[in-house]
Structure 1
Amino acid sequence: MTPDQRARIVFMGLVALDEAAERARAARGPVETCLSDRVILATLYAIAGRGRPSFYGFWRELRRPIGPLTGDATMRGNMLHTHFCGICRALGIKQTIAFTSALADARREPMHGLRNPEPFPADEQRARFAEFLRETMNDRRDADRERRAARECGLRG
């Protein structure tokens, strides 16, 4: 899988999770989940390879029934946001204003560019997100190198 394909899958998955969270926040009772919610969570977890509690927590909060007159709806919204942030951390994505704006734009125009055979190379926002994802991965790789170098003994014989 190329980095651009990975970025596209991750972005579309996060848009779908953000939409599911918004659907759950608006619900006044139990939320109807579907197989696609599970597939999206499983795919993003397979790509991330870590942060399992956030993925399971997100699923549990989607499935948890709430009372209609209690503060459970607010608590569910807060917990979904917390788990969404954990999923983004597991994927190595920093939640910036540009990232949040790109999610909102993608949710507002769900079919924009999806019918074209090559929709994303011409799409400036998704190209910026792919570049942002590459930079984030480079930052993580550099931090890992620095940690390994700090653990090594500086004395050589």
Structure 2
Amino acid sequence: MLNIVLYEPEIPANTGNIGRTCVATGTRLHLIEPLGFKLSEKALKRAGMDYWDDLDVTTYIDYADFLEKNPNAKIYMATTKAKKVYTEAAYEPDCYIMFGKESAGIPEEILVDHEETCVRIPMMGEIRSLNLGNSVAVVLYEALRQNGFAGMELEGELHELKWQGNNR
């Protein structure tokens, strides 16, 4: 199972949206405190819709607590400071993909020890970063693609009509 790690997320709607994405993809969510909101906030639940109760989520008191409870975690760190593009990494099926808080990202004190597993999403030079929820979706779906979308529905059906070229 893939794992998304949010380092000190600040905006409840982003975390709710990410939680919904995690439920839709069978991904575990890890939240490293302090959080910029309470887990009971309406904005968090609203963004996560009715999926929040199905979310596999764990919280940690700080980064050291996260490392202690996940000692063998292979962690990829999404950062605008990385030398490697996110598509250049080979994501293991049980890896952890960490994203930093909206206002500051992952602290450089953490990044410096993970140079080889830091990844970036290419952007035009004028913009600082993408929305956190969008960034998680971009990198997570690359990791899912690399792992063959294991356990996911790969075909859809119309509700009332049938696709014209499909004999199924």
- TM-score after normalising by structure 1: 0.26
The structure whose Rg is larger is 1
Flag the structure with higher strand content.
Answer: 2
Flag the structure with higher helix content.
Answer: 1
